């Protein structure tokens, strides 16, 4: 007998450090046990129960601890009293093709526990406003999976308009399992709070962990899934401590809230990998809201191209972005062009310790593995005015560092741009530094041999920019 793991909730802890009139709020996700599943027990051989066919054609058969659901229409809807799969149980959907979809909706207040095997050749939707747990040891192999504590209407689903509304639910989704979608498929987890320390994989497809008041799922560019998120009226949190893979595809972690008092938190302490595959560049996007949201990055973000092609694209955007020491971010291409990592907060400070958003050493390591763009935007008094502050030394030999500030770029340390081919003339394809030419304390740009653009006056320039060859 296995007790259903508790759905966890996120609490935000805010810590402020002020340096040279910069306010930075660092959020930490602390997952605590929420008593939403007390008393729920999932037996080892337990299967979903109390089904009612609402739309389409589907037949449910049971044999011991196995369940087969044969769907013969393109769309089908099943309402359930409970949807649990015990550790020794298996549920398999047999669908017309990979594009066929079945909606499984739980009507009672019991959260769903998936501890056994879930299989399908098509798209499986599981909606339970009371919460969903994918337990450790569970195996999910599907064409695509959409698991949500947000509701979707029958008509929207049957029309292929996948529009989800929170409708007051505050329950979360927890993944400790291995969830694998077919090539080109999708794994989407939608809830106010989503946390994963298991494996989620969708090669050439899309992995999306998202939180909002309303979320619309659709098909975007390059046959990859995309979402549109309306800001939530409750606090939102997304955390990955496990492994997310979407080589040749797209990974999105997005949390959005309405108003400065709520805030959204995205925390990656695991590995997110979207490497180039089959001539398709991977993309990784961690997107918090730009009003009071926070993105905290540790672990690994990997959009590299080790097997050919160009490197991909990585974005970490929110009002506050913090990169922990030792974080590995790479868009390196073995035989092609390196990709770009975009950091897009309000204020951003390169410094060690509590006042810094990234250390010089961590940024320096990232520049060995791809191009880095820091783009600050105008915020409020609390979130920052759009300054970029260089308070720690950075030295690099390859790739481009681009600093673009909505207001000031303040250089209070040494930026050293080194030539990776000292026997030759400076090659603009090696190390480059680009700083925007229209800052509040800037003036006209100075251009040096196509290698560096600088647009600052002495009022924002208290450090030094070094070049080991000719340059200005």
pLDDT at residue 300 tops 60: yes
Taking a C-beta distance cutoff of 8 angstroms, is the pair 175, 134 a contact? yes
Q: In 10 A of CB 170, how many CB atoms?
A: 18
Q: How confident is the model at residue 338 (pLDDT cuts 50, 70, 90)?
A: very high
pLDDT tens string 53-62: 999 999 999 9
Architecture of domain 1-13+31-182: 3 Solenoid (2.160)
Q: Reply yes or no on whether the pLDDT at 104 is more than 90.
A: yes
pLDDT (average), residues 310-326: 97
With residue 156 as reference, give the H or E element that holds it.
helix 154-158
Beta-sheet strand order (sheet of 178-181): 58-63, 66-71, 90-94, 117-120, 139-142, 178-181, 199-201, 243-245, 271-273, 300-302, 328-330
CA angle 263, 267, 273 (to 5 degrees): 135
Q: Which residues pair with 244 in a beta bridge?
A: 200, 272
Residue 449 has pLDDT above 80, yes or no: no
pLDDT at 263: 74
Comparing CA positions, the residue from 291, 294, 312, 292 lying closest to residue 303 is 312
pLDDT for res 254: 97
156-165, 200-209, 383-392: which has the minimum mean pLDDT? 383-392
SS3 424: coil
d(CA 372, CA 361): 14
Using CA of residue 137, residue 140, residue 145, residue 149, what is the dihedral sign?
Answer: negative
What is the rounded distance in angstroms from the CA atom of residue 214 to the CA atom of residue 228?
A: 8
Burial of 63 (C-beta count, 10 Å sphere; 0-12/13-18/19+): exposed
Would you say 77 and 54 are in contact if contact means Cβ atoms under 8 Å apart? Answer: yes
State residue 430's pLDDT score.
Answer: 67
Query: Domain residues of the chain, as ranges?
Result: 1-13+31-182
pLDDT at 258 (0 to 100) = 79
Question: What is residue 462's predicted lDDT score, i.e. its pLDDT?
Answer: 54
Compute the distance between CA of residue 454 and CA of residue 187 in angstroms, rounded to an integer: 44
Listing DSSP states for 69-134 in one string gives EEE-SSEEEEEESB--B-TT-EEEEE-SSTT-EEEEEE-SSPPEEE-SEEEESSEEEEE-TT-EEE
Q: Is the pLDDT of residue 31 over 90?
A: no
Position with higher pLDDT, 466 vs 398: 398
Q: How far apart are CA 381 and CA 390, in angstroms?
A: 20
Mean of the pLDDT values across residues 64-88? 98
Comparing 176 with 435, the larger pLDDT belongs to 176
pLDDT at res. 257: 87
Predicted pLDDT at 380: 60
Kindly report, residue by residue over 184-198, the tens digit of the pLDDT.
Answer: 999 999 999 999 999
Among 226-230, 315-319, 347-351, 417-421, name the one with the lowest average pLDDT.
417-421
Distance CA 472, CA 329 (A): 29
Q: Tokens 């390591």, residue?
A: 365
How far apart CA 425 and CA 151 sit, in angstroms, is: 61
DSSP state of 366: H
Mean pLDDT of 57-68: 99
What residues contact residue 259 under an 8 Å CB cut-off, 6+ apart? 291, 292
The answer on pLDDT for 399 being more than 90 is yes
What angle (nearest 5°) sits at the alpha carbon of residue 309, between those of residues 368 and 436? 50
User: What separation, in Å, do the N-terminal and C-terminal C-alpha atoms of the chain show?
Assistant: 71
């Amino acid at each position: 007998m296995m007790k259903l793991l508790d759905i966890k909730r996120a609490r935000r802890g805010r810590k402020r450090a002020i340096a040279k009139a910069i306010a930075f709020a660092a959020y930490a996700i602390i997952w605590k046990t929420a008593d939403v599943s007390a008393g729920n027990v999932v037996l080892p051989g337990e299967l979903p129960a109390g089904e009612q066919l609402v739309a389409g054609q589907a037949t449910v058969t049971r044999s011991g601890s196995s369940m087969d659901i044969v769907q013969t229409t393109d769309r089908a809807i099943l309402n359930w009293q409970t949807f649990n799969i015990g550790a020794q149980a298996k549920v398999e959907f047999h669908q017309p093709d990979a594009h066929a979809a079945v909606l499984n909706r739980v009507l009672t207040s019991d959260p769903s526990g998936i501890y056994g095997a879930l299989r399908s050749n098509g798209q499986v939707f599981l909606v339970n406003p009371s919460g969903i747990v994918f337990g450790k040891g569970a195996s999910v192999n599907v064409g695509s999976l959409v698991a949500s504590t947000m509701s979707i209407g029958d008509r929207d689903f049957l029309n292929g308009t996948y529009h989800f509304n929170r409708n007051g639910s505050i329950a979360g989704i927890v993944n400790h399992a291995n969830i694998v979608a077919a090539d080109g498929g999708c794994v989407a987890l939608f809830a106010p709070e989503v946390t994963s320390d298991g494996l989620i994989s969708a090669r050439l497809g899309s992995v999306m962990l998202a939180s909002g008041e309303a979320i619309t799922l659709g098909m975007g560019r390059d046959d990859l899934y995309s979402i549109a998120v309306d800001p939530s009226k409750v606090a939102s949190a997304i955390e990955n401590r496990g492994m997310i893979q979407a080589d040749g595809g797209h990974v999105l972690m997005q949390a959005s809230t309405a108003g400065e008092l709520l805030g959204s938190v995205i925390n990656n302490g695991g590995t997110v990998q979207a490497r180039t595959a089959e001539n398709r560049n991977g993309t990784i996007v961690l997107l918090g809201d730009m009003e009071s949201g926070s993105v905290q990055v540790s672990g690994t973000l990997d959009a590299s191209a080790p097997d050919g092609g160009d490197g991909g694209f990585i974005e970490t955007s929110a009002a506050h972005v913090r990169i922990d020491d030792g974080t590995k971010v790479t868009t390196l291409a073995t035989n092609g062009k390196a990709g770009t990592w975009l950091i897009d907060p309000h204020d951003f400070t390169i410094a060690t310790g509590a006042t810094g958003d990234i250390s010089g050493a961590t940024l320096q390591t990232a520049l060995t593995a791809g191009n880095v763009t820091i783009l600050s935007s105008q915020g409020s008094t609390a979130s920052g005015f759009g300054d970029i502050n260089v308070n720690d030394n950075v030295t690099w030999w390859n790739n481009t560092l681009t600093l673009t500030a909505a207001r000031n770029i303040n250089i209070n340390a040494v930026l050293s741009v080194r030539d990776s081919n000292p026997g030759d003339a400076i090659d603009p394809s090696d190390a480059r530094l680009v700083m925007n030419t229209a800052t509040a304390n800037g003036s006209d740009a100075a251009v040096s041999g196509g290698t560096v653009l600088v647009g600052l006056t002495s009022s924002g320039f208290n450090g030094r920019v070094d070049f080991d060859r000719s340059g200005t």
